[in-house]
Amino acid sequence: MFQIGEETFCPTGACVACATAAMAAQEFRFFVRNSQRIWLKAITVLNEVPKTNGPLVKSVCAFIKPDNLHIHTVKDYTGGDTKTMFSRLKNRLTRKAEVEKKTRTPRAGPTCKCPDCGKTFYSPYFLRVHLKNSGYKEACAQCGAIVRRGDEMREHLTKVHGESALLCRNCPMLFPDQSRLEKHEKNAHKFGSWTCCDCGRTFCGKSSFEMHSQMHAVRTCRSCGTQFSNRACYRIHRVKCEPDARPNAKSLPRNKRSNIRDPATFTCDYCGKSYHSRPQLKNHIIWIHMDVRPHQCQWCGKRFYTPSRLAEHSIVHTRERNFECDICGAKLVSKMAAIYHRRRHTGEKPYECEDCGERFISSSRRTEHAKRRHGKGPKMPCVLCSASFVRSHELRKHIERVHKPTST
């Protein structure tokens, strides 16, 4: 006869098989009750879906979860397999979760005024956006107080509003928790990224970063001399100070009205020459006044500003004639030489002298004419006598013929 042994965790008088069956029945009972509760909730929510007068929805898909119920309607459903429909709804849920996760800055608050340009804003949020491109100023999104970026803004949030923020070690960006700070440092300050130290914006390329850096440059009004560290403040001030500086949009074609810019000029402090962009002025100072010529010719040692100038000069040594005249077939060493050669065939002389009206095929010949005939422009004087010359080779010949001692 079979003898049943007692188990430690089983009730007295019940075997292991009976206890397992009893626990399975109890779990099934809980599952049925939970399913009934969720189903009744689903029926209630479906009955609360508002009825519209428009076309009927072809398909209603409901995701049932123990903690929450998500109902998504799919309009114009034309059929498809279950996997495609599930992937479509999953992507929709993911996008919705990402949108809900992002915390939106509150746009309510007291009326604020920019201390630089005097513009009034309905809330501190818009004043903060207005000062976004400022070099060092930043507006608090809650009270509108203007403080310096970084440590000063963090202290303001802690003392005035009781909020803690973490400051990035490489830029003045603030974050509410450690996870967002680590994510910012991983993406913004990784190798190959360019991050602005003023505002914390990150760029993938160097050219984009240099263009953005001009946003934080200090701008000076040409009329009154007031300086601004924010481009938006500068533009608003220019409209008030010089209302006629900006061209009238109605006088331009409709497709060009949205791209109107203030015709600002950048003047060199050394010679007074003006340029329409800051990079042009920067190159002018480096090349002309600082005399920085990094590109050197390997044959004669002469130095040039850009590699294109060096390539044009190298043709003097290589004598490669890669440019052909389309009229006579003559081969020339440079593109400009081909243009001047063609003008001899056509008789075109686009450069006119302002004094006598004589025309020339190039601006350099017009300049030489103005120096010889009208005495305009600087000449190269001889250090040994009072003679002066237009070209350098003329000065060298003069020194060799007149001042060089003859051998006996």
Amino acid at 265: T
Percent of the chain residues topping a pLDDT of 70: 76
- Average confidence (pLDDT) over 148-160: 88
Residue 254: pLDDT over 60: yes
Distance, in Å, from the CA atom of 210 to the CA atom of 338, rounded to the nearest integer, reads 37
Paired with 188 in beta bridges are none
Q: Which domains does the chain have, with CATH numbers?
A: 30-48+58-77+84-96 (no CATH), 112-246 (no CATH), 349-403 (3.30.160.60)
Distance, in Å, from the CA atom of 228 to the CA atom of 162, rounded to the nearest integer, reads 32
- The predicted pLDDT at position 105 comes to 56
| Residue of 324, 376, 333, 378 whose CA lies nearest to 353 | 376
Identify the weakest region by mean pLDDT among 35-49, 161-175, 256-270, 283-297.
Answer: 256-270
- The predicted pLDDT at position 407 comes to 46
- Average confidence (pLDDT) over 138-160: 87
- The predicted pLDDT at position 331 comes to 85
Q: Which is higher by pLDDT, 405 or 284? A: 284
- The predicted pLDDT at position 196 comes to 79
The four Cα atoms 33, 37, 39, 41 give a dihedral, to 10 degrees, of 180
- The predicted pLDDT at position 69 comes to 60
User: What pLDDT band is residue 245 in, cutting at 50, 70 and 90?
Assistant: low
- The predicted pLDDT at position 53 comes to 56
Q: Which is higher by pLDDT, 277 or 80? A: 277
The pairs formed by 193-200 with CB atoms below 8 angstroms and a separation of 24 or more are: 195/170, 195/171, 196/171, 197/170, 197/171, 197/172, 198/135, 198/136, 198/149, 198/172, 199/132, 199/133, 199/149, 199/171, 199/172, 200/168, 200/171, 200/172, 200/173
CA distances for 265 relative to 83, 227, 228, angstroms: 61, 15, 16
Residue 151: pLDDT over 70: yes
Percent of the chain residues topping a pLDDT of 90: 0
List the beta strands (DSSP E) in 302-399. 303-304, 323-324, 331-332, 351-352, 359-360, 380-381, 388-389
142 and 109 Cβ atoms separated by less than 8 Å: yes
Alpha helices in 4-53 (DSSP H): 16-47
Identify the weakest region by mean pLDDT among 126-140, 142-156, 257-271.
Answer: 257-271
Distance, in Å, from the CA atom of 78 to the CA atom of 385, rounded to the nearest integer, reads 97
- The predicted pLDDT at position 408 comes to 42
